[in-house]
């Protein structure tokens, strides 16, 4: 048996794990899983205690995307029946923030489909963000696609705290998932937001026929990018998308992946993201011994579990909500 707790101690002492150790985490025998998670929890607790960050998404613009990401129901190659609408108005964005504040959600994520935002869309987001910051003091994460440097600067000036642009998969596997843009395009946007002084959020989707080495490469690439926040999605394959029918994950493997991300990115916010409910199933609570962040409510094109079940899970774990808003929560 690997000495997972000693490995966690070495991570806490500032050492990086080797490739062999990373492979061993993903190959961890099921009977050692609790000890592997104990090590991940020791690391998580050192930096985040028992706090859990909550995030809520508003799907600000849905469908109509010209890109061809194989996992996405909103892409030009998907036949999945998704709602399609243009960027919602400022008032709708503000109403969503009000709900996020009421639910003690620290970060409100404004997400729009498409290759990148138009100037008009940026104007709408900026106008809403200024009012949301004033009224609710929420952290704002924008996710609007490939960004130009001047757009990043405008978002920063409006008060956007964080920008999400996922690398999604490894550089090597990326052409198998999307051909309408490159892995380097994605990295460039992460670098652009960093240069504008916005906190970078970038994550992955696990379960898209990648190898274990691809997963290790993803975790290391995000470390190199210095992403402050790392959403780990588990593929929820949607009928009508090119990846429909792909069903490679089991809940224990998902936990090993979350542990790997924690051992490689010890100080970063790791969020269990899309596909949490369908892939981790009854083992969802265990994920929070490695990760320290979740979404509440629905994802972009799939439903999450009832919000009350998420709050019950945190209460049962004895974990505390890390509410970053400045106003008193109302519930
Ligand atoms: S992931 Fe984003 S860029 Fe890719 S198809 Fe979906 S909406 Fe478009």
Q: Is 331 inside any structural domain? A: no
CA atoms within 13 A on the CB side of 270: 29
Rounded to an integer, what distance in angstroms lies between the CA atom of residue 297 and that of residue 266?
27
Q: Is 329 inside any structural domain? A: no
CATH number of the structural domain spanning residue 298 = 3.20.20.70
Q: Is the Cα torsion angle 160, 162, 164, 165 positive or negative in sign?
A: positive
The ligand 1 atom nearest the CA atom of 115: 3
Domain that holds residue 142: 4-321
Q: Say if residue 211's pLDDT is above 60.
A: yes
Contact by Cβ (8 Å): 81, 29: no
Q: Is 328 inside any structural domain? A: no
Q: Say if residue 325's pLDDT is above 70.
A: no
Rounded to an integer, what distance in angstroms lies between the CA atom of residue 30 and that of residue 17?
21
Residue 69 annotated in ligand binding: yes
Proportion of the chain above pLDDT 70, given as a percent: 97
The ligand 1 atom nearest the CA atom of 68: 5
CA 322 to chain centre: 17
Take atom 4 of ligand 1 and give the residue whose Cα is closest.
Answer: 69
How high is the pLDDT of residue 119? 96
Residue 331 annotated in ligand binding: no
How high is the pLDDT of residue 324? 62
Q: Give the Å distance between the CA of 240 and the centre of ligand 1.
A: 14
Instruction: Report the catalytic residues.
Output: 65, 69, 72, 109, 141, 201, 271
Q: Is 41 inside any structural domain? A: yes
Contact by Cβ (8 Å): 223, 183: no
The winner for highest mean pLDDT among 79-83, 192-196, 327-331 is: 192-196
Contact by Cβ (8 Å): 57, 280: no
The ligand 1 atom nearest the CA atom of 181: 3
Residue 109 annotated in ligand binding: yes
Q: Give the Å distance between the CA of 75 and the centre of ligand 1.
A: 6
How many domains, the chain? 1
- Joined tokens for residue 251: 């809940």
Which of 57, 75, 186 for a ligand 1 pocket mutation test, highest count of atoms within 8 Å of Cβ? Answer: 75
Q: Which residues contact 293 (CB under 8 A, 6 or more apart)?
A: 52, 53, 54, 55, 229, 269, 270, 271, 272
Q: How confident is the model at residue 328 (pLDDT cuts 50, 70, 90)?
A: very low
Q: How confident is the model at residue 323 (pLDDT cuts 50, 70, 90)?
A: confident
pTM of the model: 0.95
Q: Is 272 inside any structural domain? A: yes
Q: Say if residue 292's pLDDT is above 60.
A: yes
Contact by Cβ (8 Å): 163, 195: no
Q: Give the Å distance between the CA of 252 and the centre of ligand 1.
A: 28
Q: What is the mean pLDDT of the chain?
A: 94
The ligand 1 atom nearest the CA atom of 113: 7
Rounded to an integer, what distance in angstroms lies between the CA atom of residue 215 and that of residue 207?
10
How high is the pLDDT of residue 87? 96
Q: Is 327 inside any structural domain? A: no
Contact by Cβ (8 Å): 185, 146: yes
Residue 28 annotated in ligand binding: no
Residue 102 annotated in ligand binding: no
Q: Say if residue 302's pLDDT is above 80.
A: no
Q: How confident is the model at residue 1 (pLDDT cuts 50, 70, 90)?
A: confident
- Joined tokens for residue 269: 């916010």
- Closest by CA to 194, choosing from 169, 220, 228, is 228
Does the C-beta of 75 come closer than 6 Å to ligand 1?
yes
Does the C-beta of 69 come closer than 6 Å to ligand 1?
yes
Q: Is 284 inside any structural domain? A: yes
Q: Give the Å distance between the CA of 144 and the centre of ligand 1.
A: 10
Q: Say if residue 327's pLDDT is above 60.
A: no
| pLDDT tens per residue, range 68-109 | 999 999 999 999 999 999 999 999 999 999 999 999 899 999
Q: Is 267 inside any structural domain? A: yes
How high is the pLDDT of residue 331? 32
State the Cα angle at 329 between 158 and 297, rounded to 5°: 75
Take atom 2 of ligand 1 and give the residue whose Cα is closest.
Answer: 113
| pLDDT tens per residue, range 227-238 | 999 999 999 999
Q: Give the Å distance between the CA of 71 and the centre of ligand 1.
A: 9
The ligand 1 atom nearest the CA atom of 78: 5
Does the C-beta of 269 come closer than 6 Å to ligand 1?
no
Q: Give the Å distance between the CA of 176 and the centre of ligand 1.
A: 15
Q: How confident is the model at residue 138 (pLDDT cuts 50, 70, 90)?
A: very high
């Amino acid at each position: 048996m690997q000495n997972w707790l000693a490995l966690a101690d070495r991570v806490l002492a500032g050492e990086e794990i080797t490739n062999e150790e990373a492979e061993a985490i993903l190959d961890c025998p099921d009977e050692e899983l609790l000890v592997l998670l104990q090590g991940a929890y020791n690391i998580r607790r050192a930096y985040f205690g028992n706090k859990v960050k909550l995030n809520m998404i508003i799907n600000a613009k849905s469908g109509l995307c010209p890109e061809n990401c194989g996992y996405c129901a909103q892409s030009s190659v998907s036949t999945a029946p998704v709602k399609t609408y243009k960027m919602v108005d400022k008032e709708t964005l503000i109403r969503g923030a009000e709900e996020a504040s009421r639910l003690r959600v620290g970060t409100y994520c404004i997400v729009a489909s498409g290759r990148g935002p138009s100037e008009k869309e940026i104007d709408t987001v900026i106008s809403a963000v200024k009012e949301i910051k004033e009224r609710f003091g929420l952290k704002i994460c924008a996710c609007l696609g490939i960004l130009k440097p001047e757009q990043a600067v405008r978002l920063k000036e409006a008060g956007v705290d964080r920008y999400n642009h996922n690398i999604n998969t490894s550089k090597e596997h990326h052409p198998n998932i999307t051909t309408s843009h490159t892995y380097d395009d994605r990295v460039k946007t992460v670098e652009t937001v960093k240069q504008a002084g916005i906190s970078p959020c970038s994550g992955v989707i696990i379960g898209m026929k990648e190898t274990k080495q691809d997963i290790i490469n993803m975790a290391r690439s995000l470390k190199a990018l210095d992403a402050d926040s790392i959403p780990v999605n588990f593929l929820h394959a949607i009928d009508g998308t090119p990846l429909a029918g792909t069903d490679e994950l089991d809940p224990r493997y998902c936990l090993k992946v979350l542990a790997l991300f924690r051992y490689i990115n010890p100080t970063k916010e790791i969020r269990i993201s899309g596909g949490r409910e369908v892939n981790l199933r009854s083992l969802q609570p265990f994920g929070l011994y490695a990760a320290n962040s979740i979404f509440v409510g629905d994802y972009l094109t799939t439903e999450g579990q009832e919000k009350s079940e998420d709050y019950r899970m945190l209460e049962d774990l004895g974990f505390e909500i890390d509410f970053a808003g400045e106003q008193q929560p109302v519930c």
